Amino acid sequence: MKQATIRRRVGVIGVGRHGSRYVRHILKDVEGLTLGAISRRSGEGRVLAEQWGCRWFPDWQDLVGSGGIDCIVAALPPALNLQVALACAESGKPLLLEKPMAVTVEEASTIRDCFVEKGVGLTIGQTLRYNAVINSLRQHLSLVEPLYGLSANQRLEPTILAWLDQPERAGSGVSFHTAVHVFDAIGYITGRKIVRVMARTRCVRSASLEDHLVVLIELEGGLLGTVDCSKIGSARSGRFELIGERGQLHGDQVHHLLEFVQDAQRTPLACDGPVSTIVPLLRDWHRFLIGEGENPIPPEAGLAAVQVCEACLRSAAEGKWQEV
């Protein structure tokens, strides 16, 4: 007889564009997770709750305190993450917190420390780790090692969300909202930490917060690289190039391309088909929640990415290399 699936009732705080993706996958794609409630301040939340068959809480504090919710997903403007995360830890509710983990290293450290102290699980939504191209680059790294250099970019269209250019809600621009994914992916692929950065930022299409970031990075072992992230042009890419003694690995996680380059010859490499990265994250999170797996993306990973982001902003402000 097949063993019954252990279920967990999820509350989702923040059901805008990204939070709604979590809701849809919880409803349709992840066995073991049940949507118990959502929180959205506007009256639209009532309509969405009726559509999704769950409860609606205008105030997120009431959702966190609800006895009918086992765990929380939070997909919010990051300036709210500290308050929401601490409330989840105090209530003993495991939290899947969308990146960036916080708007400062101090806040990210406070969140991490509180969950450790309370013995509550905290998982960070660095979902690029589940991209098939990113995982294939990691798996094929031995083709080119030893590794000497790298470059990466994440270029997206200009944002249409007004709050992403509001410092009091977003905290910062692409340094935290886009490059945070790239910095985490670089560490995940190479197994090396970024130890110092030299960055430049500018506002091209935005009014207040940087929408173009270019960084020189140095990783452990003296490995050098460049990172270019922006939301300024009407096209997108997510390219990673790993330069080693025996050749190069090129991958684009947006366009699902992967190749090995040696001398002047380019050889396509196979990798798994593209998937919504939220689905495997939620499945691994469920296994973690029921004690059948490790924390898929622990808070230390989220904190490490925020440390690099903050160092980039310090470097851009001071015009010099900054230690991470």
* Model confidence pLDDT, tens digit, residues 174-207: 999 999 999 999 999 999 999 999 999 999 999 9
Segments of the chain assigned to CATH 3.40.50.720: 8-127+278-296
How far is 264 from 93, CA to CA, in rounded Å?
54
CATH topology of domain 8-127+278-296: Rossmann fold (3.40.50)
Say if residue 2's pLDDT is above 80: no
Segments of the chain assigned to CATH 3.30.360.10: 128-274+306-323
The bridge status of strand 247-252 relative to strand 239-244 is antiparallel
Q: Indicate whether this model's pTM tops 0.75.
A: yes
Question: How far is CA 7 from its chain centroid?
Answer: 25
Lowest mean pLDDT among 14-18, 58-62, 209-213: 14-18
- Please state the rounded mean pLDDT for residues 7-21: 95
Which of the 8 DSSP states describes residue 297?
Answer: S
Nearest to 179 by CA among 307, 12, 317, 276: 307
Strand order in the sheet with 95-98: 55-57, 33-39, 8-13, 71-74, 95-98, 122-125
Residue 52: both structure tokens together: 């999704």
How far is 87 from 122, CA to CA, in rounded Å?
12
Residue 161 — pLDDT band, cuts 50, 70, 90? Answer: confident
Nearest to 121 by CA among 82, 62, 70: 70
List the CATH code of the domain at 128-274+306-323. 3.30.360.10
Say if residue 282's pLDDT is above 80: yes
